[in-house]
Amino acid sequence: MASNGSGGGHHGDSEVKTDIITLTRFLTEEQHRLGPHATGDFTLLCHALQFSFKSIAYYIRRATLINLIGLAGSSNMTGDDQKKLDVIGNEIFVNTMRGCGKVKVLVSEEEEAAIIFPGHGKYAVVCDPIDGSSNLDAGVSVGTIFGIFKLDDDAEGRAEDMLRPGTELVASGFTMYGASANLVLTMKGGSVNGFTLDNALGEFILTHPDMKIPKSKGIYSVNEGNSLYWTEPCKAYFESIKYPQEPGVKPYSARYIGSMVADAYRTLCYGGLFAYPADKKSPKGKLRILYECAPMAMVMENAGGLAVTSDQRRMLEVVPEHIHDRSGIFMGSYNEVTKVTEIFKKHGVVAK
Ligand code: AFP
């Protein structure tokens, strides 16, 4: 696929881009690449997704101006106090997924039960509509994380249909609402592509084609406030990068925003390691498998990185026990995650 907007021309002294690859064009070209048996259902689903991202981006950009800051006065099923934008983001997501007619099952962080839509949608979607919402009131970047599964033809569309490994995702990604709205999208066996929302055109523009995560980078991202509860192998790994014994080896830099989407996007762009380990306080970890860990693991792997659980299993092979199940996670650059696995192995923790 040609790099974006390269087909431009000099019109007078201004560089006018006349060959822009929008997300809409990208999806259409992907569908054509799949050939005549592609029904277009997936493309339509993705169009509905992009509309939800644009709407959420709009309300987040205006939140302080139109009193959308603060709590909604309700809490979700994992006991988190819901922000007003958690509720609005979730409603926008549920309505666009229902409205596109291509989705049968939706699992959302803000919904206790899986939503089963009427009709014959062939897809199931998992999402965290506003990830990092505890950062919203401070204007820190937040995001939407999503994953798409294809349902078996005879599937009635039940919550149980969602208890499947990330290896079965047909697509995943996230949109970060920060300085600009950045969407990262990957498809099964495909590349990772980044798009930036041009608010003037109202279009996501392909700005980061074929993203590859650097193999190594001395940046780690973890909530060290939990280190008291970390397991010995986890402590040993972070000690090894903070206090390297080898002569001439510099300690890693720490970066932690507290919004997985923002920490993941930086890690994807610069390299390094993001982790939310399982620990003595949260033996199953904090982050949810279906709509946080698995979609992110697919992005990291397709960008040339890795993602493992706290017991060093491949994150994408984990089958959740229920739709809001959690897992510890280490993800990012190939060599950085490999270092984690090597140190955990020294402490007797190997993937079973
Ligand atoms: P919120 O959506 O409640 O802000 O949680 C964000 C999150 O799920 C994920 O985005 C962060 O990586 C992680 O939790 C932050 O958790 P800590 O506040 O415990 O570091």
- Residue-wise pLDDT for 279-316, tens only, equals 999 999 999 999 999 999 999 999 999 999 999 999 99
CA of 259 to the centre of ligand 1 (A): 6
Residues of the chain with CATH 3.40.190.80: 219-347
**CATH 3.40.190.80 given to domain 219-347:** yes
224 Cβ closer than 6 Å to some ligand 1 atom: no
Ligand 1 pocket check: which of 81, 287, 293, 296 to mutate, most ligand atoms within 8 Å of Cβ? 287
112 Cβ closer than 6 Å to some ligand 1 atom: no
Atom of ligand 1 at shortest range from CA of 225: 20
Tokens of 218: 């001395």
Whether 11 has a pLDDT exceeding 80, the answer reads: no
Label each residue of the chain as H, E or C.
Answer: CCCCCCCEEEECCEEEECCCCEHHHHHHHHHHHHCCCCCCHHHHHHHHHHHHHHHHHHHHHHCCCCCCCCEEEEECCCCCEEEHHHHHHHHHHHHHHHHHCCEEEEEECCCCCCEECCCCCCEEEEEEEEECHHHHHHCCCEEEEEEEEECCCCCCCCHHHHCCCHHHEEEEEEEEECCCEEEEEEECCCCEEEEEEECCCCEEEEEECCCCCCCCCCEEECCHHHHHHCCHHHHHHHHHHHCCCCCCCCCCEECCCCCHHHHHHHHHHHCCEEEECCCCCCCCCCCEHHHHHHHHHHHHHHCCCEEECCCCCEHHHCCCCCCCCECCEEEECHHHHHHHHHHHHHCCCCCC
132 Cβ closer than 6 Å to some ligand 1 atom: yes
CA gap 278, 12 in Å, rounded = 59
CA gap 288, 325 in Å, rounded = 6
pTM of the model: 0.95
The candidate with the shortest Cα–Cα distance to 169, out of 298, 48, 306, is 298
197 by Cβ neighbours in 10 Å (0-12 / 13-18 / 19+) ranks as buried
259 Cβ closer than 6 Å to some ligand 1 atom: yes
Task: Give pLDDT tens digits for 250-262.
Answer: 999 999 999 999 9
Atom of ligand 1 at shortest range from CA of 263: 12
279 Cβ closer than 6 Å to some ligand 1 atom: no
Those residues with Cβ within 8 angstroms of residue 65's Cβ, 6 or more apart along the chain or in another chain: none
Atom of ligand 1 at shortest range from CA of 226: 19
Residues of the chain with CATH 3.30.540.10: 23-211
Whether 241 has a pLDDT exceeding 70, the answer reads: yes
CA gap 58, 224 in Å, rounded = 33
Atom of ligand 1 at shortest range from CA of 128: 2
CA of 323 to the centre of ligand 1 (A): 18
Take atom 12 of ligand 1 and give the residue whose Cα is closest.
260
Take atom 4 of ligand 1 and give the residue whose Cα is closest.
132
Mean pLDDT of the chain: 94
Task: Give pLDDT tens digits for 115-129.
Answer: 999 998 999 999 999
Those residues with Cβ within 8 angstroms of residue 6's Cβ, 6 or more apart along the chain or in another chain: 19
- pLDDT score at 10: 57
CA of 100 to the centre of ligand 1 (A): 30
Region 193-200: mean pLDDT is 97
CA of 132 to the centre of ligand 1 (A): 5
The number of C-alpha atoms within 13 Å of 89 and in the hemisphere containing its C-beta is: 34
CA of 131 to the centre of ligand 1 (A): 7
260 Cβ closer than 6 Å to some ligand 1 atom: yes
113 by Cβ neighbours in 10 Å (0-12 / 13-18 / 19+) ranks as exposed
- pLDDT score at 156: 78
**CATH 3.30.540.10 given to domain 23-211:** yes
The model's confidence at residue 12, banded by pLDDT at 50, 70 and 90, is low
The model's confidence at residue 1, banded by pLDDT at 50, 70 and 90, is very low
CA of 124 to the centre of ligand 1 (A): 24
